[in-house]
Amino acid sequence: MSDVRERIQWLRNEIRRHEYLYYVLAKPEISDFAFDQLMAELKALEAAHPELVTPDSPTQRVGGAVLDELPQVRHEIPMLSLDNSYNEGELEEWYGRVVRGLGRKPEALVAELKIDGVSLSLIYEGGVLMRAVTRGNGEVGEEVTPNAKTIPTIPLRLPADVALVEVRGEVYMPRPVFLELNRKRREEGEEPFANPRNATAGSIRLLDSRQCARRGLRFFAYQIARMPGKELRYHSQALELLAQWGFATNPGWRRCRDVSGVHEFVEEWGQKRKALAFDIDGVVVKVDSIAEQQALGATSKFPRWAVAYKYPPEGERTRVKNIVVQVGRTGTLTPVAELEPVRLAGTTVTRATLHNADEVARLDVRVGDTVWVEKGGDVIPKVVAVDISVRPAGAVPFSMPDRCPVCGTPVVREAGEVAIRCPNSSCPAVQKARLLHFCSRAGMDIQGLGEQRVEQLLQAGLLSDPASLWDLDWEKLAALPGWGEKSAQNLKKQLQDAKTRPLWRLLVALGIRHVGERAAKLLASRFGSLSALSQASQEELEAIEGIGPTIAQSVVGFFASRQGAELVRRLRARGVDPREIPEGPATPAPLAGLAFVITGTLSRPREQVAALLEAAGAHVSDSVSRKTSYLIVGENPGSKLAKAKNLGVPTLDEAGLQRLLSEKGVAW
C-alpha cells in the first residue's frame, strides 16, 4: 500500500511539473503521449484506491460536479475595479495625483497587460485551493470552485508553506478557442458569444464543471490580495512569487522607474498586442511598494495606487443611423446597428450586430452615435466602442423592446440566459427564418429559395411552415412577379428530390436546438426514422455515445411540443419521411459509437486491427478529427499524433487498446 501511495505521489508531482512546463512555460519536456500515460496510470491507481484521491490531484481537473446554483460568497477584501485613462496626458495626471498623495515620487511602478476576461479570487488554505469566487458586484461574488479547478493554469496546490493566501487574477479565453466555440454554437443553432470576455463570463459560471472543462479557459494571476503573516513589500515580488508557485503571470510585465517607462511599455505593447493569442484592452499601471499602496488607499470605487490605460479602439469609425431588432429562427431578438456605409477589410459594411441587451447596455450605443466597427476574427462585423465625445445632444439610450417588433407578442427571457425571445411560434419573422434554415445548404439543401422569395411567398400567403412547401399552388406561384413556368418547374423538381434526402439532413433542417450535423447523424443512424426518433425517451437518447442531456432534452422537447409534433405529422403526410436501417438498439455492438484512427506500426498489420475494430462496431478512419474517440499509437507514429493532441483526442498505445478491448469483451 505504501508503494501505491508513493507511486501516486510521484505521479502527481510529475504530472504537475509537466502541466506547468506545457501550459505556463509552453516548453514541454515530454510528448503528449507520454503525459497521457502518466495521467492514465494515476487515474487507474486512484480508481483502484478511491480513499487516496485528494482534491488537489491533477485527475480532479476534468470536472464532475453539477450544481443547482452558484453559492454567493462575500469577499473578505472587496474586489475594486480600475479608473481608466485614455491617453498619455491622463496617465500623467494619475501619476501627478500619486506624487501629491505620497508627498514624493513613488519608489517604482509596475506595468502589466490588461487582459480582457473576468476577474477571479482564489483562496488557498494550507496550500490547497479551497475556493474560487468571481468578482460579482465587487462585494459579493459567486463561488465557482469546481469550474476553476478545471483551468490548467490554476495550481490546485501551492509548493509553499502558507496558511492562507488569496490570489487574484483574470480568467480568459484564448482567441482561437473562442472562434472555434462560436463556430460550433452557430452550427448547433446556439447564439454565438459577442466576444471572448462574454464567452469567459458565461463559461466560468456554468453549473456543470465538465462542460466548463471543455471551454478551454486560462488564468493569469495578477495580485496577492492577502497572505497574513507573510506580507510582501513589493507588488513585483508578488508577481515573482506567483510565477514560482506555478501560476501563469502576465507576460512581459515590467518594473518602471517612473511614468516615462510606462509610456514605453504602452507603446511597445500597442504594436505587439496583435500577436498575442488573447485579447488585451490596455495596460494596468500599479504603484510597486505595498506600503505606498496602503498610504494612497482607495476611493469608494477604485484604488488610487493603480490605473488602467485603455488602448484606442481599432477598426473604422462610422455613424449609427438606426438600431433595429431582428428575430431569428429560435425567436431570439438580436439588436443590429444600421450604419453609414464604411469600408472594412475589403468589404462595405452597412450593418453590425450588437448581440444582445447586455452588450448594448455595456457599450451604451445610441442612434446618432459615432462608433468604431471591427471585423475581428469572427465573420460578422461588430460595434466595439462608442465615441461619446461627439454624441449628439438628446441621443436616447436604446432599450430592447418588450414586445416582438414583428408580431407584437410580449417577449420572454429564460432564466440564466441573456437572450430575449419571441415565444410566438407562428411569428412571421420566426417562420421566415425557419423556412430559410430548412432550405439551407446545411439543412435540406433546396435551391432557388432565397430570402426575398421566401418573403414573397409568405406575403402571398402561399407558404407557412416547411411542410407547406409541398402544398405550393404552382399556378399562383408561376404568376407571381419574378417567377415563371421555368423557375416554378425547377423548384418543383428540387422539392421532389428533397424527399429522398438522408434523414440527418431533415433532422438538421427541423431546427431542433443543439442538433447540428454531428448530433443529427448520430440520431439518424441509431433510430432510422422520424417516427422511431419521436418515440425515444430521454434515457435512450442519452445512452448514445456523443449525445448528452442537453441534446436529449431538446429532442424530446421538440417531439413533445404541439408545434414539433404537428410539423412532423405534416411532413410525413406529404411523403417527407426518409428512412435508414437503424444500427439496432438494445444490444449495441461492443464498440458502437467509437471512432478510431491508427498511426504508427502495431504488432499486427494495421488492416487486421482495423477489421477487428470494425467487426466490433467501431468506425475506423484515416484522419483524426474532433469526432475521433481514440488515436491508436504504434511505433514511430506520424503527424496524426500531433493533430490528436491539438484536438484533445485521447490516445491509446497497443497495451491500452488491448485493455479497452478486454473491458468491452472483444477478443484481440
CB of 19 to ligand IVH, least distance (A): 22
Count of residues engaged in binding ligand IVH, rule: CB under 6 A: 15
Catalytic site includes residue 114: yes
Q: Name the residue nearer to ligand IVH (CB basis): 244 or 563.
A: 244
- Answer whether 163's CB lies under 8 Å from 172's CB: no
Q: Name the residue nearer to ligand IVH (CB basis): 303 or 588.
A: 303
User: Which of the residues 325 through 384 are near ligand IVH (CB under 6 A)?
Assistant: none
d(CA 365, CA 624): 44
DSSP 22: I
d(CA 289, CA 236): 8
| Catalytic site residue from 27, 114, 149, 493 | 114
Instruction: Give the dihedral of Cα atoms 65, 70, 76, 77; nearest 10 deg.
Output: 110
72 near ligand IVH (CB under 6 A): no
624 near ligand IVH (CB under 6 A): no
Q: What are phi and psi of 620, to 5 degrees?
A: -120, 130
d(CA 522, CA 508): 12
**Contact with ligand IVH (CB under 6 A) among 250, 293, 356, 599:** 250
Q: Helix (H, G, I), strand (E, B), or coil: what is residue 96?
A: helix
Q: Which residue is nearest to ligand IVH (CB)?
A: 119
C-alpha cell at 353: 450586430
- Answer whether 450's CB lies under 8 Å from 460's CB: no
CB of 23 to ligand IVH, least distance (A): 18
**Contact with ligand IVH (CB under 6 A) among 39, 115, 262, 506:** 115
C-alpha cell at 242: 506567483
CB of 249 to ligand IVH, least distance (A): 9
**Contact with ligand IVH (CB under 6 A) among 284, 406, 522, 530:** 284
Q: Name the residue nearer to ligand IVH (CB basis): 299 or 389.
A: 299
Q: How many CB atoms lie within 10 A of CB 564?
A: 19
309 near ligand IVH (CB under 6 A): no
Handedness of CA 133, 135, 136, 139 (dihedral sign): positive
Instruction: Give the dihedral of Cα atoms 283, 288, 292, 296; nearest 10 deg.
Output: 10
Helix axes 32-48, 640-647, angle to 10 degrees: 60
Q: Name the residue nearer to ligand IVH (CB basis): 306 or 657.
A: 306
How many Å is the Cα radius of gyration of the chain? 29
82 near ligand IVH (CB under 6 A): yes
d(CA 633, CA 131): 39
114 - beta bridge partners?
Answer: 282
User: Which of the residues 212 through 231 are near ligand IVH (CB under 6 A)?
Assistant: 222-223
Q: Helix (H, G, I), strand (E, B), or coil: what is residue 183?
A: helix
**Contact with ligand IVH (CB under 6 A) among 19, 36, 46, 112:** 112
User: Which of the residues 138 through 177 are near ligand IVH (CB under 6 A)?
Assistant: 170
Pairing of strands 630-633, 651-652: parallel
CB of 382 to ligand IVH, least distance (A): 20
CB of 292 to ligand IVH, least distance (A): 15
200 near ligand IVH (CB under 6 A): no
24 near ligand IVH (CB under 6 A): no
d(CA 204, CA 151): 10
Q: In sequence order, what are the residues at sequence separation of 6 or more whose Cβ sits closer than 8 angstroms to the Cβ of residue 206? A: 147, 212, 215
CB of 258 to ligand IVH, least distance (A): 19
Q: Name the residue nearer to ligand IVH (CB basis): 115 or 609.
A: 115
75 near ligand IVH (CB under 6 A): no
CB of 80 to ligand IVH, least distance (A): 4
80 near ligand IVH (CB under 6 A): yes
119 near ligand IVH (CB under 6 A): yes
Residues that bind ligand IVH (CB under 6 A): 80-82, 112, 114-115, 119, 170, 222-223, 250, 284, 303, 306, 308
Catalytic residues: 114
